[in-house]
A and B are shown apart, each in its own frame.
Chain A
Amino acid sequence: MIGRLAIRTGILVASLVVASIAVFLIMAVLPGDPATVKLGVNANPAQVQELRHQFGTDRPLVAQYLSWVGGLMHGSFGTSYLTNAAVGPQIAAKIQVTLWLVVLALVVAVVVAVPMGVLAAVRSRRADGAALAGVSQLGMAVPSFILAILLIDLFAVRLHWVPSGGWVPPTAGPGPFLKQVALPVLSLGLIQAALLSRYVRSATLDVLREDHIRTARAKGLSPGRAFLRHGLRNAAIPVVTVLGLQLAALLIDAIVIEKVFVIPGLGSLLLTSVSNRDLLLVQGIVMVLVGAVLVINYVVDLAYVAIDPRLRRSA
């Protein structure tokens, strides 16, 4: 267990270092610099040069990289060029918005996908089971932003049930909050549910074919009961793995959905920062995203062991 942890942690750190260099280099080769953007179309070269000096973007790349990484070591993401505010707290504030979307979408995905997948498997030889599988197949083919546009058109523009976009923090009360996030969360969650239900279905089918389920059925249990009592835990292993991968995908998907619904989360912050060449902010956000994905994988790995006792011995 300890060895596994050490290796995983080593991979995590190495990945972060590689990611930091990659992000830094990509931003460095993009044309345009933050001083020009900040001073606008009529700035004179001397002012731009002065601001560059103030930002430190006139230093060699290696020096810039080292001072940025040095800041990270001390827990500082630096100061945004455009807002003059510390990057860390800005990211922390925006990530809460994005996380609400991701977490609620994941809840929707699980709540919809597990019964749907199990039902599709248990009744795989009947019409309703096949229909469920068909629906999930269809759902997988639709990009979340298309679903988002359809949902907006129906529920916001035509029916006026919910707002078409924007953001109300949860502190405004559960009613306004849920109304506000309903469409983005459904756009993200339903697509993930379609995907997830395929895995639930195939995992369930695999388990149902195993000997101990056949034994349980021979004792007179219905396929559903036999699965719930004896198969659920086994079927959960591949599903949890997929769930981890989906969480990472959801984070990225949320960035697109934030744009469609004009939600001021991490995605919106990232897109604006890229177009303004607010380098430290971009680097900070990407590092947090990369970190989040890596940590999710790390946790999935551990969850895997927790669910399947057989792995504990080998680890």
Chain B
Amino acid sequence: MGVLAVRRVLSTAIGALALCLAATACSAGDDSSSKGPTSEKTSATFGFTAAPDNLDFTTTDGAAIPQVLLDNVYQGLVKLSPDGKIVGSLAKSWTVSPDNKTYDFQLQPNATFSNGDKFTADDVKFSIERVKSSAWKISLKAYMDVVDQVQVVSPTEVKVVLKQPSNDWLFRMTTRIGAMFDPQGVTDLANKAIGTGPYTVSQFNRNDSVVLTARSDYWATKPKLKTVKFQYFSDTNAENSALLSGGIDGIIALQTPDTLGQFKSNSDLTVSQGTTNGEVVLSMNNAKGVFTNKALRQAVNYAIDRKALVKAAYGGYGSLIGSMVPPTDPWYQDLSNAYPYDAAKAKALIAQSGVKNPSVAFKIPNLPYAVSSAQVVKSDLAKVGITANISVLQFPAAWLDQVFTKHDFDMSIIAHVEARDIATYGDKKYYWGYDNPAVTKLLAEADAGTPQQQITDYQQVAKTLSDDAVSDWLFLLPNIEVLRKGLSGVPVNGLSESFDVSGVSWGSGS
């Protein structure tokens, strides 16, 4: 291939112009930005910043793959509603036994996979057991460990028995680990996705776009759009230009709020703000270095003017939460005032800590929100006498390696976008380096207890973390969307792993 590739450079170069007029049937089908009357439009294109590397979320981690595939191509027994509640999808209904250990699911009787196979209880058993096998590689699979066995009761009824009660399990079934597969459809997951959802992948252009086409044989209400294109931009300027020039119809999860002015003044576009699960955390290494000192961690919490930070780093969008819990979780409590901005108090705490002229290794990923937040953090800390030495690490590889894996840092900033991730504070090996057996115990009890107990326990955990100033929760990422006028049914919040396009349409919707 080596020499061939080199030859190809030349031969293609020579033949390129001659080929210019060659036209075949392999059209890109790119009519997404057609400017015809809105009532006739049957396609839409949305811009995103993180592109999937392949189509297999069972072996490759990251948000990009489930974002396009979950709920659109693959479906689970349950899914997350736009306001964060668990609702049925492939399960028509379900009941939970009094001891919270047995789940009985009644399945949709008419669901089919895109290859024509009927969806039955056998597929549920296959899919759940497959998560527990070595076929699944990503770490999220661990959430399925609690499952003891899956019994096929009838073609439309399945019983899942857990080893111990777990409130969290059903919630995790709304994520990619709950996706239902056809045993005949898992041979080439990286390139071929076969699910029960309203769409199939008709084109996958790596690093560029994924095109979804509506199934004519979909088992439930057919989606309104025939094709939906996920267009990926590594460069946010390019994404913004594409929206302004009509190349795309909407930007989902806009990363650069400072560019919103140009959209707001455009009468063709609307800007909306929803919420997400993405806590932007100023993490401190609790296990080694100066931040083993609690007074110093508290000093950091007092020293940073979070209100000003959100303004500077995120244009004032994003909400202050003061904990690892977003407002859409049932156990949310407002802790944003636990450490009000108070430089004098911060200085006193530093004096109390006994650390002279603290100087910390502040290692941040090269992501826009992290870089701009870090500047504010650095200057706020300088005002109280803490020197933060910023080094910018390329994300993901370098940051994952140094900060996340090797724990070689004092302080970092990253958005933790995974749902209900407060439980990471119960894992002493996690990069927070926080080791508190009481928290670990509370988290376990919360999962096994009644839903009410879960709420009380999680609130207690959040409170403890705040008291210990384990991290500084800077703000919650907003879900900023800029959409072309006339688009309706676009999910406003970014709570689930998926960007569900099945309800999107042009016109008033219905």
Residues of chain A touching chain B, judged by Cβ–Cβ distance below 8 Å, are 30-33, 36-44, 47-48, 51, 72-73, 75-77, 82-85, 88, 90-92, 95-96, 99-100, 102-104, 107, 149, 152-153, 156-157, 160, 163-174, 176-177, 259-262, 264, 268-269, 271-272, 275-277, 287-288, 291-292, 295, 299
Residues of B within 8 A of A260 (CB): 235, 237-238
Q: Which of A32, A43, A169, A292 contacts B397 (CB 8 A)?
A: A32
B10-A299 in contact (CB<8A): yes
Residues of A within 8 A of B418 (CB): 42
A38 to B64, CA, bound (A): 12
Q: Which one of B6, B242, B244, B245 has the greatest number of beta carbons of chain A within 10 Å? A: B245
Q: Which one of B5, B24, B234, B244 has the greatest number of beta carbons of chain A within 10 Å? A: B5
Residues of B within 8 A of A40 (CB): 61-62, 138-139
Chain B nearest CB from A186 CB (Å) reads 16
Chain A nearest CB from B61 CB (Å) reads 3
B207-A42 in contact (CB<8A): no
Residues of B within 8 A of A102 (CB): 13
Given A95-B5, A156-B244, list of 14 further CB < 8 A pairs? A32-B399, A36-B405, A39-B138, A41-B404, A42-B61, A72-B2, A82-B54, A88-B5, A165-B247, A170-B23, A174-B23, A276-B397, A291-B9, A292-B6
Q: Which of B6, B400, B402 contacts A37 (CB 8 A)?
A: B400
A193 to B21, CA, bound (A): 24
| Interface magnitude class on chain B | 35 or more
B395-A275 in contact (CB<8A): yes
Q: Quick check: is B355 within 8 A (CB to CB) of the other chain?
A: no
A291-B5 in contact (CB<8A): yes
Q: Considering only CB atoms, which chain A residue lies closest to B190 in the complex?
A: A84
Q: Considering only CB atoms, which chain B residue lies closest to A38 in the complex?
A: B60
A77 and B396 in contact (CB under 8 A), knowing A164-B242, A269-B207?
no
Q: Which of B2, B22, B239, B244 contacts A291 (CB 8 A)?
A: B2
B23-A173 in contact (CB<8A): yes
Q: Which of B10, B238, B401 contacts A164 (CB 8 A)?
A: B238
Q: Is the interface of A mostly helix, strand, loop or mixed?
A: helix
Residues of A within 8 A of B1 (CB): 72, 75-77, 88
Q: In the complex, identify which listed stretch (B26-34, B271-279, B310-318) lies at the interface while the others stay far away.
A: B26-34
Q: Considering only CB atoms, which chain B residue lies closest to A43 in the complex?
A: B139
A39-B61 in contact (CB<8A): yes
Interface residues of B in 1-50 (CB under 8 A from A): 1-6, 8-10, 12-13, 16-17, 19-24, 26-28, 30, 33
Residues of B within 8 A of A153 (CB): 241
A170-B22 in contact (CB<8A): yes
Q: Which one of B22, B138, B400 has the greatest number of beta carbons of chain A within 10 Å? A: B400
Chain B nearest CB from A135 CB (Å) reads 27
B61-A96 in contact (CB<8A): no
A37 to B405, CA, bound (A): 11
Q: Considering only CB atoms, which chain A residue lies closest to B53 in the complex?
A: A82
Chain B nearest CB from A194 CB (Å) reads 22
Q: Quick check: is B329 within 8 A (CB to CB) of the other chain?
A: no
Interface residues of B in 409-438 (CB under 8 A from A): 418
A95 to B232, CA, bound (A): 19
Residues of A within 8 A of B59 (CB): 38
A163 and B242 in contact (CB under 8 A), knowing A84-B54, A172-B27?
yes
A51 to B400, CA, bound (A): 16
A173 and B61 in contact (CB under 8 A), knowing A32-B398, A276-B396?
no
Residues of A within 8 A of B142 (CB): 44
Q: Quick check: is B200 within 8 A (CB to CB) of the other chain?
A: no
Residues of B within 8 A of A168 (CB): 28, 30
Chain B nearest CB from A47 CB (Å) reads 6
B401-A103 in contact (CB<8A): no
Of the A-B pairs whose beta carbons lie under 8 Å apart in the complex, a sample of 7, sorted by A's number, is A51-B137, A88-B1, A95-B12, A163-B247, A164-B238, A174-B23, A275-B397
Chain A nearest CB from B425 CB (Å) reads 13
A259 and B397 in contact (CB under 8 A), knowing A36-B405, A85-B190, A91-B5?
no
Residues of A within 8 A of B405 (CB): 36, 48
Residues of A within 8 A of B19 (CB): 170
Q: Quick check: is B264 within 8 A (CB to CB) of the other chain?
A: no
Q: Which one of B61, B138, B238, B405 has the greatest number of beta carbons of chain A within 10 Å? A: B238
Q: Considering only CB atoms, which chain B residue lies closest to A99 in the complex?
A: B12
B12-A75 in contact (CB<8A): no
Residues of A within 8 A of B245 (CB): 152, 156-157, 160, 163-164
A43 and B54 in contact (CB under 8 A), knowing A102-B13, A163-B242, A262-B233?
no
Residues of B within 8 A of A271 (CB): 234
B23-A287 in contact (CB<8A): no
A194 to B59, CA, bound (A): 49
Chain A nearest CB from B340 CB (Å) reads 31
A264-B400 in contact (CB<8A): no
B207-A272 in contact (CB<8A): yes
Q: Quick check: is B259 within 8 A (CB to CB) of the other chain?
A: no
A167 to B19, CA, bound (A): 17
Chain A nearest CB from B2 CB (Å) reads 5
Q: Quick check: is B135 within 8 A (CB to CB) of the other chain?
A: no
A39 and B139 in contact (CB under 8 A), knowing A99-B16, A275-B397, A291-B2?
yes
Q: Which one of B26, B53, B247 has the greatest number of beta carbons of chain A within 10 Å? A: B53
Residues of A within 8 A of B206 (CB): 83, 90, 264, 269
Residues of A within 8 A of B205 (CB): 264
A171-B24 in contact (CB<8A): yes
B138-A43 in contact (CB<8A): yes
Residues of A within 8 A of B28 (CB): 168-169, 172, 176
Q: Considering only CB atoms, which chain A residue lies closest to B19 in the complex?
A: A170
Q: Which of B6, B12, B401 contacts A33 (CB 8 A)?
A: B401
Query: What mask results when residues 372 to 383 of chain B are scored 1 for a CB within 8 Å of chain A, else 0?
Result: 000000000000
